[in-house]
Amino acid sequence: MAIRGPSIELHRPAPLLSGGRGETCLQKKPFLVQAKRLGGLEKASTRGAQESGQPKKRAPLIRGTVSPPLPVPGNIPRPPYVGTKDAPEIAKEIQMHDKESIVHMRAACELAARVLEYAGTLVKPSVTTDEIDKAVHKMIIDAGAYPSPLGYGGFPKSVCTSVNECMCHGIPDSRELQDGDIINIDVTVYLNGYHGDTSKTFLCGEVDEASKRLVKVTEECLLRGISTCKHGTSFKKIGRRISEHAERHGFGVVECFVGHGVGRIFHSEPIIYHQRNNRPGQMVEGQTFTIEPILSMGSIDCDMWDDGWTAVTTDGSLAAQFEHTILINRTGAEILTKC
């Protein structure tokens, strides 16, 4: 589950996005992000040359009815934030693991991966995102785990479902999926005191080639970001690798949501930027964090719905996201959120 990153100064005129309900912003001084930007004509030319077909025209995303939160059996342990209205601040603690805690992290992440795989089988035209939420909720509690998003800063559901132009944090509701939609499902489980966090963008029915390419390139960006990771590597290499691949295919990398440390705490340092940046810091063996790039066909800026969660592209263009939780070791990174 992505978090809103700190406000940053960009090398282009742009409004700075501020925090609000359901958003967790670091209270730090802005820093400069040295990002190479394609101009509007360059971007249009690149995309026009590279895209195979145009994305299908879709009606703007409209919210449906949100049903009440689902109950969780009393014997299932809750994360500390459950029952509070405000999302906790991003913890400064770097989450390191010994052999015992790695076992717990693997178990939580494997469960999250299995739940996500199952959720993907439910993606079909006429299925509602609320139905997906109910199925995910049941699978998680049947495994003795807690759905981490439920009650996080007041989030009312057990999973995030982000359709079409929704970048992330979509709230499951009564809207039926349509043929040609794309949907990101973001699953986090809390099992034996540890969070496992993962997401994937799925295709619903017959999806046009341009949208398929966005989804494919986004997943490739995630895997390229992970491929840079090992003990001693600078965090900024992740953003550079992701940006290079996205720009090569004419897509923009969303800057206002970031990856994060994860483990006993849902959201902690390090903050993982997916765009080019000069963020200091190096990876350390035994550390766990998420990488979760969001790519857009158009604007990388977002509008926030008044529910305080749903973030959509300002121009209505499609966005896709993929996420894994990884464990840093001496020679590389282990993807924990795999079945």
User: Is residue 18 helix, strand or coil?
Assistant: coil
Q: Give me the tens of pLDDT residue by residue for the chain, a chain 339 residues long.
A: 877 665 443 333 232 222 333 333 323 332 222 333 344 333 333 343 344 567 778 889 999 999 999 999 999 999 999 999 888 999 998 999 999 999 999 999 999 999 999 999 999 999 999 999 999 999 999 999 999 999 999 999 999 999 999 999 999 999 999 999 999 999 999 999 999 999 999 999 999 999 999 999 999 999 999 999 999 999 999 999 999 999 999 999 999 999 999 999 999 999 999 999 999 999 999 999 999 999 999 999 999 999 999 999 999 999 999 999 999 999 999 999 998
Binding-site residues, please? 169, 186, 197, 260, 267, 292, 323
What domains can be seen in the chain, in order of their start residue?
100-335 (3.90.230.10)
- Amino acid occupying residue 202: F
**Mind spelling out the 3-state secondary structure of 97-158?**
CCHHHHHHHHHHHHHHHHHHHHHHHCCCCCCEHHHHHHHHHHHHHHCCCEECCCCHHHCCCC
Alpha helices for the chain (secondary structure H): 40-50, 99-121, 129-142, 209-227, 236-248
Binding residues for substrate: 169, 267
Going by C-alpha positions, the residue among 280, 197, 270 that lies closest to residue 237 is 280
The encoded tokens of residue 252 equal: 């923009």
Model pLDDT, residue 6: 58
pLDDT at 25: 30
Q: Please tell me the total number of residues recorded for the chain in this structure.
A: 339
- What's the pLDDT score for residue 171? 98
In a 3-state reduction of DSSP, which class is residue 315? coil
> Nearest Cα to 66, choosing from 172, 137, 149, 197?
172
pLDDT value at residue 56: 76
Predicted local confidence at residue 53, as pLDDT: 65
Question: Scanning the structure block, which residue is given the tokens 């959201």?
Answer: 267
Binding site residues for a divalent metal cation, as ranges? Answer: 186, 197, 260, 292, 323
Q: Under 8 Å CB-to-CB from 71, ≥6 apart: which residues?
A: none
| pLDDT of res. 40 | 39
Question: Could you count the other beta carbons within 10 Å of the beta carbon of residue 330?
Answer: 9
SS (H, E, C) 229-259: CCCCCECHHHHHHHHHHHHHCCCEECCCEEE
Q: Which of 222, 213, 226, 283 is nearest to 253 (CA)?
A: 222
pLDDT for 5: 67
